[in-house]
């Protein structure tokens, strides 16, 4: 009989705890050798196998949990029961699928009225008057699910601060560096010295991102067994997430968002063009001021190839740097810090900024909550037996910090 997800989690917790204890409490006077490596690697492989099994369970549960949370949030927002909110969610989904399959003409009078009311209600709540010409019948819940999908496909959205605004007007965001500020001793009857915090401002706009056109064949449109809305959300979200995550990571800041790597200073330059040492990682960590390190939010960021290399590193006592999280929600760690996998981080190479470390919540992503999606039935698609869809979403991103909340490790020049 297959194990339940709870049984798998308990098994993983037991092995992870044993593994952490084995590494962290290994006597410093003894030499870590081949026998210890074998035991460590066997436990590491067991944890990886359990992680894959648990992830398969969790992927299914996440979909259900996210839907339940949306229903509850909307019930609270509209002051209606959870049952009423669930019925409303179902009606929105039916309306969206009808529109996706056949446009406005495919919607019933009741569905058209319902969607007009929903658009108007959203406009009133946000203080906007968005156009509704029958081509862009997206609703707020669709946008919310799209952003959830985008979060899953990009490392930056999982650690940055995300702001949602109703309009795309430029915003002046404050920046400050408090790492060098301090108080003073004041003598009796003496006046205190004034030291005002110096604030700067950085403007955040809203770049218009396109999913590029998505062609759906007539056969798929006519298959009632296909959840067309979920299919398009996933495909559109994946496309938008990948280009945005690239810009949020390495964007130049000119004609596109400023990436966190672009905005961060170099905290350590490595001695090699490929790879990194334990000492260099330690120096990168300590290049970030303790005011950020002590916040509890600091972590590493690198791509999956880099993780493979770092997971083989050992400390000064020859003990492995990689350890699994033990309790639910605890991250796996490199040198006692969690990490985020971001495939837009560079591989080890000459001059590459391959590893970042710090408090990534100081990077801010700004989303404009008026996604527009168009349904296209012109001859370019019709002659191929297809219907086209395209989505536009506006976002920007910047590292709003001048005190060095995030630093990067740069490999040596060739």
* Range 347-380 burial, b when 16+ CB lie within 10 A, else e: ebeeebbbbbbbbbbbbbbbbbbbbebebbeeee
For residue 210, give the H/E element and its range: strand 207-210
Highest mean pLDDT among 48-52, 90-94, 150-154, 370-374: 48-52
Q: What is the pLDDT of residue 175?
A: 76
> Minimum mean pLDDT among 27-41, 111-125, 295-309, 330-344: which range?
111-125
- Which residues partner with 323 through β-bridges? 333
| Residue 45 in domain | no
Residue 143 pLDDT grade (very low, low, confident, very high; cuts 50, 70, 90): confident
pTM of the predicted protein model: 0.83
Assigned domain for 60 exists:
no
Structural domain includes residue 246: yes
pLDDT bucket at 176, cuts 50 / 70 / 90: low
**CB under 8 Å to 402, separation ≥6 — which residues?**
175, 176, 177, 200
Q: Please tell me the number of Cα atoms within 13 Å of 406 on its side-chain side.
A: 27
pLDDT > 90 in the chain, percent: 52
Give 16's contacts (C-beta < 8 A, 6+ positions apart).
Answer: 47, 323, 324, 325, 326
Q: Is the per-residue pLDDT at 122 higher than 80?
A: no
pLDDT at 35: 94
Q: Is the pLDDT confidence value at 167 over 70?
A: yes
Residue 86 lies in a domain: no
pLDDT, position 311:
94
Residue 370 has pLDDT above 90, yes or no: no
What span, in angstroms and rounded, lies between the C-alpha atoms of 362 and 406? Answer: 8
How confident is residue 196, by pLDDT bands cut at 50, 70 and 90? Answer: low
When pLDDT is averaged across residues 37-58 and rounded to a whole number, the result is 92
Answer whether residue 351 is part of any domain. yes
Tokens 């001048």 found at: 402
pLDDT reported for residue 99: 86
Instruction: Give me the chain's average pLDDT, please.
Output: 86
Of the candidates 406, 408, 404, 160, the one whose C-alpha atom is nearest the C-alpha of residue 306 is 408
Residue 284 lies in a domain: yes
Any domain includes 110: no
Residue 181 has a CB neighbour count (10 Å cut-off) of 12
Helix 82-102 vs helix 140-152: crossing angle, to nearest 10? 80
Q: Which are the contacts of 54, defined by CB distance < 8 A and separation ≥ 6? A: 5, 8, 9, 12
Distances, alpha carbon 361 to alpha carbons 297, 356, 358, in Å: 8, 13, 9
Q: pLDDT at position 133, please? A: 43
Pair 154, 248: CB distance under 8 Å = yes
Most confident of the ranges 15-19, 85-89, 118-122: 15-19
Question: For residue 136, what pLDDT is reported?
Answer: 47
Q: Which residues pair with 390 in a beta bridge?
A: 374
* Residue 381, domain CATH: 3.30.2400
> 213 lies in which domain range?
138-175+201-303+342-414
Residue 280 lies in a domain: yes
* Cα 241 from Cα 396, distance rounded (Å): 13
pLDDT over threshold 50, residue 132: no
| Residue 385 reports pLDDT greater than 50 | yes
Best-predicted range by mean pLDDT (8-12, 130-134, 163-167, 329-333): 8-12
pLDDT in tens, 315-324: 988 999 999 9
Smallest CA-to-CA distance from 298 within 364, 344, 363, 361 is with 361
Confidence of residue 135 (pLDDT cuts 50, 70, 90): very low
Number of domains in the chain: 1
- Is residue 402 within 8 Å of residue 201, measured between CB atoms? no
pLDDT at 66 over 70: no
């Amino acid at each position: 009989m297959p194990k339940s997800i709870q049984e798998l989690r308990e098994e993983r917790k037991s092995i992870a705890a044993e593994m952490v204890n084995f590494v962290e409490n290994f006597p410093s006077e003894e030499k870590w050798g081949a026998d210890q490596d074998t035991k460590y690697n066997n436990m590491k492989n067991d944890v990886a196998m359990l992680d894959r099994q648990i992830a398969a369970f969790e992927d299914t549960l996440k979909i259900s949990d996210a839907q339940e949370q949306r229903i509850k949030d909307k019930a609270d927002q509209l002051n209606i029961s959870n049952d009423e909110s669930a019925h409303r969610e179902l009606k929105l989904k039916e309306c969206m699928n009808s529109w996706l399959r056949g446009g406005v003409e495919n919607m019933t009078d009741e569905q058209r009225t319902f969607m007009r009311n929903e658009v108007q209600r959203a406009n009133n709540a946000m203080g906007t008057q968005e156009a509704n010409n029958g081509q862009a019948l997206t609703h707020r819940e669709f946008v919310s699910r799209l952003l959830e999908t985008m979060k899953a496909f990009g490392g930056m959205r999982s650690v940055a601060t995300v702001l949602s605004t109703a309009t795309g007007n430029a915003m002046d965001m404050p920046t400050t560096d408090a790492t060098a500020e301090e108080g003073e001793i004041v003598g009796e009857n003496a006046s205190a010295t004034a030291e005002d915090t110096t604030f700067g401002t950085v403007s955040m706009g809203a770049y218009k991102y396109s999913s590029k056109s998505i062609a759906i064949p007539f056969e798929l449109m006519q298959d009632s067994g296909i959840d067309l809305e979920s299919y398009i959300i996933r495909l559109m979200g994946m496309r938008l997430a990948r280009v945005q995550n690239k810009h949020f990571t390495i964007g130049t800041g000119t004609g596109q968002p400023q990436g966190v790597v672009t905005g961060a200073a170099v905290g350590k330059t490595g001695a090699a063009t490929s790879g990194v040492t334990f000492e260099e990682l330690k120096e990168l960590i300590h290049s970030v001021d303790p005011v950020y390190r002590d916040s509890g939010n600091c972590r590493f960021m690198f791509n999956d190839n880099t993780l493979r290399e770092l997971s083989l590193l050992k400390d000064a006592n020859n003990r492995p740097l990689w350890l699994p999280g033990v309790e639910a929600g605890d991250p796996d760690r490199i040198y006692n810090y969690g990490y985020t996998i971001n495939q837009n981080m560079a591989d080890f190479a000459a001059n590459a900024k391959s590893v970042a470390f710090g408090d990534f919540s100081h990077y801010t992503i700004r989303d404009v909550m008026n996604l527009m999606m168009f349904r296209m039935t012109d001859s370019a698609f019709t002659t191929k037996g297809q219907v086209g869809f395209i989505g536009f979403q506006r976002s920007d991103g910047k590292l709003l910090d001048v005190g060095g909340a995030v630093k990067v490790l740069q490999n040596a020049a060739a």
